[in-house]
């Protein structure tokens, strides 16, 4: 099927297949033994990471995309490839996914210590990274779609990991169903492309010169681009399908980290950037992307301003940063969007993993309570979370600053109104994220010291005394690694741009935009400082003086209520009810009626059977005689 087995191909197979092998091994063989499962999972992701690193370095200077593929379906006018497609974009993404999966598996040694379902957890993590890796290196849209759905399935499994908890299983279901709603559009878009062009190769749709030659009319192109974008809207939790993501916090925290940085939600942005030239060919589709991104970014930033749950804040910030990436892509700034995706993957994983350490230690999700319990005594997580937040709000010299600035430049290029929206979003982001940081660094009111100190390790029954340092350092070392990446990644902007686009343009943002972006971020930070950080601050946001606005924000703009109403009145009240009634009255009634008719007919006819043998004989002779007569006459 694949032509020639070279060493590179072998590495590609290792990179893409090691995790699923581990999934199988854990599910079939080592499920009973937690330590064996953990070993298998980590070795698998390490192999996958190593192979990805090899491929990344090996193809770093490759002139054009390297493709290993076999024909999967070939029909008269239809060719669907299956295999691997390595170009700078997929290599970069492959590297991100493999790295984040690896560090999260290492982190989970500590975070999930003592959980009886740990084997299952590792198996699902492997399944998750396998689907995402194959999504990233897919050469065709159909393969991408298959793994896209697998990503959905594995995130469903992981969000609902604590399935014995009602809210967790509900959240998993919600995530699955809401993303499916977008995927329907994606699939229809693929079908349109397949019917009109006869192939789904990314090599074509990802190449500006060839998109024009596919013979798609402008209207069809726009239609299919918007339909495919609806899949990305579902996956990346954009407006109006964004309400599943905050609920997805029900899963274990490392899962949230994985979900929010490199896998699930990144898939949507990746899809759009993957076939970016295809989008660039339709200005309407680009405008839709830009508008959806802007609405999402502003909406979710406001939602984050009132949340008290640290994971919720990060979740809303993920949505808004994804919106930001879509804004960048929609404004035509391809590199800025992808660069922000890259930096965001690392600092968001960092933020979630820090939050995981706090949640693990204080057993609460509320950062006001964490602060009161003495969160600032945990130095390493506190410093790394501050780095992460600084990157998130775009404070130099952290990575987020560079990528945000690149997007701002793209937005300014598009028009001032988009730039203003972007700046507003940046200010809100800085405000809500530094709100968390200031609250945690500067607890107000009575401070109750937590029972066991941070140095003592987690001696609460799991981990065991001798192994406590493993639990502890598996988590802390990952924080340090991610913190370091967040610190330095921004300085590789030039190299990455050259790698991705083939040329490194000079700094296209003007000084003014730089100053504006920085000023907005700082304004947000300062506002947060006066409300939450300063000595006599009351730690109450300015929103608490506007009750109705606060209620609107903390109820997530009533979007959940709207969906609830929609479900209750249209789906359950309308459609389901009609079908239930159809089932009860027409189908059940019809079958019951037939049964009753048969039974009563039988009762009526059975009167003939008197039990007297001779009547039966009479009848027999009569029939035989009549038949004889009939044959005689005819």
Partner 1 sequence: MNELQVYLFVALILFCLGLTGVLQRRSLIAMLISVELMLNAASLNFMAFNRFLTPEPAVGQIVTLFIIGTAAAEAAIGLSIILAVFRRYQSIDIERARELKG
Could you list the residues that contact partner 1 (CB under 8 A)? 605-614, 617-618, 621
In this structure, the number of other CB atoms found within 10 A of the CB of residue 168 comes to 20
What is the full DSSP assignment across 208-271? HHHHGGG---HHHHHHHHHHHHHHHHHHTT-TTS-THHHHGGGS-HHHHHHHHHTSHHHHHHHH
Report DSSP letters for 191-205, one per residue: HHHHHHHSB-BHHHH
SS3 letters for 416-431?
A: HHHHHHHHHHHHHHHH
Least separation in angstroms between CB 28 and partner 1: 60
Smallest separation, CB 626 to partner 1 (Å) = 15
Number of neighbouring beta carbons within 10 Å of residue 578: 10
* Sign of the dihedral through C-alpha 390, 394, 396, 399: positive
CB of residue 597 vs partner 1: minimum separation in angstroms? 17
C-beta neighbour count of 474 within 10 angstroms: 19
Q: Which helix (H) or strand (E) is 72 found in, with range?
A: strand 66-75
What is the smallest separation between the CB atom of 624 and partner 1, expressed in angstroms? 11
At its nearest, how many Å lie between partner 1 and the CB of residue 611?
Answer: 3
The enclosing H or E element of 67 equals strand 66-75
Smallest separation (angstroms) from partner 1 to the CB of 621: 7
Q: Which is nearer to partner 1, 578 or 620 (CB)?
A: 620
Separation CA 611–CA 328 (nearest Å): 90
Output the smallest distance, CB 582 to partner 1, in A.
37
The least CB distance from residue 627 to partner 1, in Å, is 16
- What does 518-547 look like in DSSP terms, one character per residue? HHHHHHHHHHHIIIIISTT-----GGGGSH
* Residue 272 CB neighbour total at 10 angstroms: 27
Q: How far is the CB of 607 from partner 1 (least distance, A)?
A: 7
Angle at CA 568, nearest 5°, toward 562 and 572?
140
Per-residue 3-state assignment (H helix, E strand, C coil) for 427-453: HHHHHHHHHHHHHHHCCCCCCCCCCCC
Q: Which two tokens stand for residue 563?
A: 């969906």
Other Cβ atoms closer than 10 A to 215: 9
Hunting for tokens 């949340």 — which residue is that? 307
């Amino acid at each position: 099927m694949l032509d020639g087995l070279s060493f590179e191909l072998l590495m590609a197979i290792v990179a893409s297949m090691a995790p699923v092998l581990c999934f199988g091994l854990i599910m079939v063989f080592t499920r009973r033994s937690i330590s064996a499962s953990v070993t298998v999972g980590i070795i698998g992701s390490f192999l996958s990471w190593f192979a990805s690193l090899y491929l990344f370095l090996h193809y770093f200077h490759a002139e054009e995309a390297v493709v290993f593929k076999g024909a999967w379906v070939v029909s008269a006018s239809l060719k669907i490839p299956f295999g691997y497609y390595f170009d700078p974009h997929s290599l970069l993404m492959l590297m991100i996914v493999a790295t984040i999966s690896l560090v999260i598996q290492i982190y989970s040694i500590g975070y999930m210590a003592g959980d009886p379902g740990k084997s299952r957890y590792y198996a699902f993590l492997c399944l998750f990274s396998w689907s995402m890796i194959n999504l990233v290196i897919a050469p065709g849209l159909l393969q991408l779609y298959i793994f896209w759905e697998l990503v959905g399935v594995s995130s469903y499994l992981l969000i609902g990991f604590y399935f014995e908890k009602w809210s967790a299983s509900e959240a998993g279901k919600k995530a699955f169903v809401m993303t499916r709603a977008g995927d329907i559009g994606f699939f229809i878009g693929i079908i349109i492309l397949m019917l009109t062009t006869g192939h789904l190769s990314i090599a074509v749709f990802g190449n500006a010169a060839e998109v024009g030659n596919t013979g798609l009319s402008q209207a069809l192109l726009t239609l299919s681009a918007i339909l495919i974008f609806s899949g990305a809207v579902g996956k990346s939790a954009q407006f109006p399908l964004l309400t599943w993501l905050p609920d997805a916090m029900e899963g274990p925290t490392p899962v949230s980290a994985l979900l929010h940085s490199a896998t699930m939600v990144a898939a949507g942005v990746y899809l759009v950037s993957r076939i970016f030239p295809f989008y660039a060919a339709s200005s309407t589709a680009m405008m839709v992307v830009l508008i959806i991104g802007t609405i999402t970014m502003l909406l979710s930033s406001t939602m984050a301003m009132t949340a008290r749950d640290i994971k919720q804040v990060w979740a809303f910030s993920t949505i808004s940063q994804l919106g930001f990436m879509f804004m960048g892509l929609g404004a035509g700034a391809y590199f800025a969007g992808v660069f922000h995706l890259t930096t965001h993957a690392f600092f968001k994983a960092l933020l979630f993993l820090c939050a995981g350490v706090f949640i693990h230690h204080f057993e609460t999700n509320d950062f006001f309570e964490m602060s009161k319990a003495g969160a600032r005594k945990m130095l390493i997580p506190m410093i790394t979370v501050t780095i992460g937040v600084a990157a998130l709000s775009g404070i130099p010299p952290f990575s987020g600053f560079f990528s945000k600035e690149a997007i701002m430049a793209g937005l300014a290029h598009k028009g001032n109104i988009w730039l203003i929206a972007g700046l507003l979003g940046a200010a809100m982001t800085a405000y809500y994220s530094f709100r968390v940081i200031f609250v945690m660094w500067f607890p107000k009111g009575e401070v109750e010291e937590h029972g066991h100190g941070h140095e003592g390790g987690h001696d609460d029954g799991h981990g065991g005394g001798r192994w406590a340092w493993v639990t502890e350092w598996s988590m802390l070392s990952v924080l340090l690694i991610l913190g370091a990446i967040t610190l330095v990644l921004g300085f590789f902007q030039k190299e990455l741009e050259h790698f991705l686009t083939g040329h490194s343009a000079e700094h296209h943002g003007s000084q003014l935009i730089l100053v504006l972006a920085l000023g907005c971020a700082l304004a947000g930070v300062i506002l947060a400082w006066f409300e939450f950080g300063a000595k006599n601050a009351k730690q109450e946001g300015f929103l608490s003086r506007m009750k109705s606005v606060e209620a609107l924000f903390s109820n997530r703009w009533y979007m959940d209520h709207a969906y609830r109403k929609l479900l209750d009145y249209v789906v359950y009240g309308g459609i389901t009810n009609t079908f239930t009634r159809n089932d009860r009255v027409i189908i059940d009634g019809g079958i019951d009626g037939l049964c009753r008719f048969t039974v009563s007919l039988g009762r009526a006819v059975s009167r003939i059977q008197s039990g007297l043998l001779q009547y039966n004989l009479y009848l027999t002779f009569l029939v035989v005689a009549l038949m004889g007569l009939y044959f005689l006459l005819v």
